[in-house]
Every structure is written in structure tokens, then in C-alpha cells.
Amino acid sequence: MWRYVLRRLLQAVPVFFGTTLLIYVMVFALPGDPIQALAGDKPVPDNVLQTLRDRYNLNDPLLVQYGKYMWALAQGDLGENYTGQSVSEMLSGRWTVTARLALTAWIFELAIGIALGVWAGLRRGRFADTLVLGGTTLVIAVPVFVLGYAAQLLFGLHWQIFPTAGTDEGWPVSYLLPGIVLGSLGLSYVARLTRTSLSENLRADYVRTANAKGLSRARVVGRHALRNSLIPVVTYLGVDFGNLMGGAVVTEGIFNLPGIGQQVFQSIQLKEGPVVVGAVTVLVLIFLLVNLVVDLLYGVLDPRIRYE
Amino acid sequence: MTSQWGVRCRWGMRWKVAGAVAVALTASLGLSACGGDEAGASDGTFTVGHSEPDHLVPANTTSSYSFDVITELFDNLMTLDGGGKAVPLAAESVTSGDQKVWTVKVRAGQKFHNGEPVTAQSFADAWNNAAYGPNAMSANSYFSYIKGYEEMNPEDENAKPKAETLSGLEVAGPDTLKVTLNAPFSQFPLLLTYPAYAPMPKAGLKDLKAFEEHPIGNGPYQMDGNWERNKQIKLVAYPGYAGPRKAKNKGVTWKSYSNADTAYTDLRAGRIDVLQTIPSAKVPEAKRLLGDRFLARKMSTTDYLGFPVFDKRFANPDLRKAISMVIDRQGINKAVYNGDFFPADSLIPSIIPGHRDNACGELCAYDPAKAKQLFDKAGGFKGTMELYFSNAQPTYAQWMRIIANSLRDNLGITDVQFRQVPASDYFSMLRERKEKGPYRQNWEADYPSPQNYLENMWGSADNRMGWKNKEFDDLIAKANRTADQQQALALYNQAEDIAIQEMPMIPLWTWAGQGGRSKNVENVTITPYSTGLVATDVTVK
């Protein structure tokens, strides 16, 4: 078990170098001159442009740039963006926002999604089942920005249940509405996965055996059927946690939350390589870690799975 | 508790437009609006929404979002009155006999927010810091008028500058600064209103990084805490302020929005008190909902269509005039901008002193028949007509399409191609003269003078079109030498006429500013100049 964990952690090292280089190359390949773009319509003297390009190593060949970046990174220096702000400061402020948002969405997904899925799975083919399936289909079909703006106008502006935008009210108040909007898509998938998986397993032989032994309904469902049914759900929840961390660009924009997704979006537009690489590298590490935790959870849920 | 903010101009780079479709959908759901509650506890402060600034060191930005904050933290030597004239602010007087050597008297007894006195040296230090090439300040080029700038910014990019200070700056006493320019420049007092010309305290120049997080100015407001990046900048009235624009409120907070639609929603919800720019898709609704709290204003921002005159196919002025005359400015204004913008009838927008109504005459009027005559006289156009614009705003593509249709229907140019270039690439492309056809150009006044438009965009020294006209340059130089403002304006107008007759760049329309305020504030004035919102005049209920 521990050897397995160590092996997985060691695998993360080449992945880390590979992804950073790949992202660096991709940002580097974007067209345009970020320094000129900073100035917009106003004139900038050549010597100023040159000074800035030198400062950010933009005159070096790609591999030299990457090497310099990694060398600085090894000393714990994430570099600066093109307006001279330290990348580590930029990102740390944004990670707190994103982590709060992602966790809110994720908890919402997990709790409500599994509850709905169990409810529908136990009543397969009846009204509750149809309601959950229909409702989740609708949510999956609606684009997130429509959902976001509609929720903002209805719950924020019209009924004033939640703040419309921003982080002024702090956690959880400011994060509830965006969290629900962000998590609604994942919630739909979780509910449907749970429902299908559970209703399949309820017909399995071991459930019939458990029923025949005279165990209570709650014990049969909770202890036997549900545990096995949750394996695909846990897999999805793990992957989705990474998505919530990095892919909340639209939701963060609508609710004016200065999170990591917004930053990556803006930095790609501005060709700020160091910022993009810094942010995405952390995301990659989160993905690797979450995947490991998910794999280990399989063993907890299903004793037949063992890691040696 | 409460949130506050406002906004100005050029959302392009930062504000994403995911909203238009959603807006249409939510509107069709029949959501009614409610007035929004009263913004929070009245502590005498108010909030404005805008985009996140890039820098707060005055000389290191040309972004209007940074100006929003900087113009309230700092008192320049001069400021603008309501009519766009330069009037003293931190200066006692700014005078010159020959328009080349200027004597600045700084008003005595002013202090920075940290208690350091404001002297002639404070201005000299700040300007030297800004003009020194290796400091790479964004507004560096705005100091090129002052003698000694060339020595600090050598032509050869890799050479070390010969000087670290401007030889044209001489501190002749604690309150006296003598400024020698490279050439006579009658508009110098107007240039002094530009935010980059703010003074800097010694403490700030020692540590620019710390200063950026907590600027120390000499203006009516001081920082309340540090710059909260991507969230807000809080300013409170500076009790020691003795200048002419004392704040009529206790403070102003500038809140950052990455999305213009959300800023507008927050204005409706009463979570901000002022918004300087309402997204154009929301304007009709805003007019209806806000009533007298809808704030419309003229602006200085103007769109142009420039020609690569260095390309032989565009060398004939008649062809360029023909293209100008098939652009239905009013039609585009109605179709794309709700009819709120102002079709151009001159190269200079109406809020700039020296603007003449209809200076462009029939050359800026939609007249397909006349245009076709001119077009044929010029020998028509062969090959592909490529139209260049950036992807910063979706409206650019909309009006370019209308122009393309008109070129096809009225002039018979059937082969028209759109070249939508990423914003980060657009300016480098123009700089390197890689464009092969008409391109969108835009200008926002740094200070309200025709010279700011004409010399920067048409002057032979550094225009993007490759257009050279000695007569035009001479007239500009002559106007720059002329002490009498009325005479100077007349000379600028003569130069303008030449640029109109040659038409290397077509004026299209001037933007309209559409803002709004909450019920919480009154006396909200937004000037069309770089001073923007007059925060000091706002009264809070």
C-alpha cells in the first residue's frame, strides 16, 4: 500500500516537468507581442519596449527562457507578470477565492447529488426517478452562463436572497449562489451516476443474499449496495474537483470572484507565460493528488480492490 | 457592507463579453427589474465600479482605470475646468514668454499624505524618473517634449543612456521650476494635466514597489490601507488637504470588476453607487430603469479607419475619399450603437476646444453616387480589400461588416476579406506596418488639444499610415509656437484641413459615455477628459 503511494508520487515528477514545458511552449507559441499590447493605442518608445523585453527574458530562445524560469522556480521564485507584480502574490490571493468557490460547489454536488441519486435509484421508474432524470437533463442542457446570469438576476437582484456579486460578505454567504451555479452541472452527473449504479446493484446477487439473510432495508442499501455503487461516483467527483478548481472562468466572471480561472484566462490573453505556467502547474499537482486519493478510496469502498 | 465603484472607457482588453446571449435569454424570460435597495450604511463614502488598474505609479500607466484612482490621489500642476481649459491646481502659475522656456511656480504650503512638503523638486524628481528609459515607465514618451529626453532614451536600443536627468529641468528655488522644451509648445499647460505629470515624494522614489501598493500623493484623497488587488482600492478624504478641490464626501472606494454586465447588475442592486460605463447591450434597459440617474456624456474617444498609405494601392487620395463617402456613419451608429454615438464630421471630437462642426463636409457624408465617381476617377481598386481590426470588442466586427457590404454594393469591390487580429498582436502588426489594407484606429484624448490628435496620429515623425506632408507638419509646428490659444487653434484647424483633403485616415464616430448612479449619491459629474469622474464633488446621502 505505502509502496504503491510512493510509486505514484514519484510518477508525478516527470509529469510535472512535462506539463510545465508543454504549457510554456504553448504560451510561447501564441501570436503577438505582450509588451506592445500593454500600451494599447498609445505610443511606446523602442528603448522602453527593449528594456521590458530584456527584463522578462523575451529576447531569449524558448529553451533558455524555460531554463531561466525553472532555475528561478527551484529557488522558490515564481517570477513576475508583465506589470511587475509577483506571480506568487497574485496566485495566492486567487487560490483562496477559488478554493472556497470550488469547495462550496463540490460539497453541494456531493451531498445533494448523492441524495437525489439514491432517492431516484430506490424508486426506479416511478415519479421521483422521472423527476430527477428530467430535472438533471435540463440543467445539463442549459449553458452555465445562462444559468449564472439568470440566478444572479432572480436570486440576487430580484428577490435579494443572495448578494449579486463580489466577495464582500465573505464565506459562505458570497460563495453560496456562485457555488450552486458552478456545482449544478456536476450535481446532475453525480445524481444520474448514483441512480443508475445503485439501481443496477440493487438487483445483484449479493443484495438478494443480504435481503434473504433478513437484514434491514437501511443496512442492505447503505452498507452493501450503496458502497459498491459509489465507485464510479467517487471517480467522477475526484476528476470534477480539479475541473472546479481550474474551469470556473465563466462563473467567476459573472459573480466577480477574482479566482484562478479568471486569472488564467486573462493571462493567456496577455501572453503572461509565467502566470499561466504557475497557475496550471498547481492545478496539475491538484489533479495528481486527487487521482491518488480517489484510487485509494476504491479500496475502502470495495474490499476486493487491494493495492500491493 | 456596501460596495461602491464607477467606470470609464475602453473595456476592450479586460472585460469579457459572454453576456449578450444570456442577456437576451433572461430578458425573454420576462424578468422584471426592481429598483435596488438603498446602498448600505451612510458613512459618507461611496463606491464606484471599474476594471482593475494596471499600475498606481502615475508615470507607469496609460490606462484610464488607473487614472480613475491616480487623479484623486495626486494634484498635478494644472487641471482642467469644465470646458477643457487648463487651470492651476498645485501650481501658483505656469508662464512662458517664448513657449519654449516655462516657469512654474508651485503653490507653497502643500504636503504629501506622509507629511513631506510638495516642492519644485518633487515634480522634477518624478519627471526624471518617468523619462529615464531603463525605468521602462509606460508614459515615458509623454516626456519627449522636455529638453534632454533624447539623452535619456538613446535611439540605439542597447546603448546606455548618457544622462539620468532631464537637462531641461532646473529647480530654481523651493517653489520654482524652470522647464526648457525641445521646441516651442503652446499646449504645455494642457500636457501638465496628464496624470503622468504628477509629483512624487522622496519616500516613493526610494521604493517604487511599496509605493505601488500604497501610493502617497498630494491630492484630496489618501489611501485607506493597501491596494487590494482585483478587489478594491479604498480612498478616504485627506484631512490635511489645502488645495482648491476639497472632497465633499468622506471617501471613495473603487471596486474591480472583470465583467461589465456584472458591474451593471451591482449598480441596479445598489451595491455600487456609480458606474461610468454601462455595457452597450444594456443601455436601452438602463435608460428605462434609471431615469434621471442615467448619466449620458460625450467623450473624446474616437474611431478612425487608417490606410496603409505606404502601399501603392492606397496612395491615391481620391480612392480614400471615396471609401469615406460610402461609410454610412449614422446607419452604423443606429445599427451597432443604439444611435448613441456621434458620427464624425471632423478629425477632432466635439468636446475638444478647436473642434469645428462639419469641418469634413461632404467627405464625411454618405453619398454613394459621388463616391463612385471619385472611385472611378482614382482608377478603382484591384486585388483583395483586407479590413483589419482587433478582437477586443464584438462591435468592431459588426461595423466592419457593414462597411464591407457598402464597398461591395456601392463601389463594386467584391473581394473583401476580414482580418480579425488578436488584441495582443494588433498593435505590433501596425507598428511593423504589416497590414495590407484599412485598419481600425482609435484615440482617446490625453489632454483636450487638437495637437494631441493631429500630431500624434498624422504627424510625419511617427504616424502609422506612412503619410508624409511637410505643409501639415509646418502648420502644427507653427501652432505649437503660437502663444495666443485662439490663433493656435486656427493653425491646428488649417493643418486639419490638409489631413481631411488627403484623407490618409477616415474619421468614423466619437463614443458616447453611458453611466449611472445609485439613489445614494448626487452631484455625479463625469468629465470627458482623463480626469473622468469628479469624485470630490459627489455628495452622499
Integer Cα distance of B375 and A201 in angstroms: 78
Task: Mention every residue, 6+ apart, whose C-beta is less than 8 A from residue A91.
Answer: A78, A260, A263, A275, A278, A279, A282
Residue of B nearest to A38 (CA): B424
> What strands, in cross-sheet order, belong to the sheet with B101-106?
B91-96, B101-106, B176-180, B169-173
pLDDT in tens, B27-67: 333 333 333 334 445 689 999 999 999 999 999 998 899 99
Q: How many helices and strands, by DSSP H and E, does chain B display? A: 17, 19
| Min Cα–Cα distance to chain A from B138, Å | 7
To probe the interface with B, which of A51, A96, A97, A142 has the most B CB atoms within 10 Å? Answer: A51
Q: Is B136 on the interface with A (CB under 8 A)?
A: yes
| Residue numbers in B near A83 (CB within 8 A) | 54-55
Sign for the CA dihedral angle at B351, B352, B354, B360 comes to: negative
Intervals of chain A under pLDDT 50 = none
Integer Cα distance of B157 and A44 in angstroms: 13
Q: What was the pLDDT predicted at A41?
A: 67
User: Alpha-carbon Rg of chain B, whole angstroms?
Assistant: 24
Please judge whether A33 and B425 are an interchain contact, meaning their C-beta atoms are less than 8 angstroms apart.
yes
| Residue numbers in A near B209 (CB within 8 A) | 84
Picking from B31, B135, B269, the nearest residue to A164 by CB comes out as: B269
In percent, the amount of chain B with pLDDT more than 90 equals: 83
| Min Cα–Cα distance to chain B from A135, Å | 18
Residue B259's nearest CA partner among B281, B289, B288 is B281
Q: How many CB pairs under 8 A join A and B?
A: 183
To probe the interface with A, which of B191, B230, B254, B303 has the most A CB atoms within 10 Å? Answer: B230
Long-range Cβ pairs for the range B143-149 (8 Å, 24+): B143/B196, B144/A45, B144/B182, B145/B181, B145/B182, B145/B183, B145/B185, B145/B188, B145/B191, B146/B179, B146/B180, B146/B181, B146/B182, B147/B180, B147/B181, B147/B182, B149/B182
Picking from B29, B133, B263, the nearest residue to A48 by CB comes out as: B133
Please state the pTM of the whole predicted model. Answer: 0.88
Residue A255 CA from chain centroid, whole number? 17
Picking from B29, B62, B269, the nearest residue to A156 by CB comes out as: B269
Q: What was the pLDDT predicted at A268?
A: 84
Show pLDDT as tens, one digit a residue, over chain B (541 residues): 333 333 333 333 333 333 333 333 333 333 333 333 344 456 899 999 999 999 999 999 988 999 999 999 999 999 999 889 999 999 999 999 999 999 999 999 999 999 999 999 999 999 999 999 999 999 999 999 999 999 999 888 778 899 999 999 999 999 999 999 999 999 999 999 999 999 999 999 999 999 999 999 999 999 999 999 999 999 999 999 999 999 999 999 999 999 999 999 999 999 999 999 998 889 999 999 999 999 999 999 999 999 999 999 999 999 999 999 999 999 999 999 989 999 999 999 999 999 999 999 999 999 999 999 999 999 999 999 999 999 888 899 999 999 999 999 999 999 999 999 987 788 888 888 999 999 999 999 999 999 999 999 999 987 899 999 999 999 999 999 999 999 999 999 999 999 999 999 999 999 999 999 999 999 999 998 888 899 999 999 9
Residue B501 grid coordinates = 483633403
Picking from B133, B258, B271, the nearest residue to A253 by CB comes out as: B258
Integer Cα distance of B126 and B205 in angstroms: 8
Omega within 30 of 0 (cis) for the link into A172: yes
pLDDT in tens, B72-124: 999 999 999 988 999 999 999 999 999 999 999 999 999 999 999 999 999 99
| Residue numbers in B near A96 (CB within 8 A) | none
Q: What was the pLDDT predicted at B39?
A: 43
Please judge whether B423 and A37 are an interchain contact, meaning their C-beta atoms are less than 8 angstroms apart.
yes
pLDDT in tens, B110-147: 999 999 999 999 999 999 999 999 999 999 999 999 99
Integer Cα distance of B68 and B468 in angstroms: 36
For B389, the enclosing helix (H) or strand (E) is: strand B385-390
Residue of B nearest to A148 (CA): B22
Q: What was the pLDDT predicted at A82?
A: 83
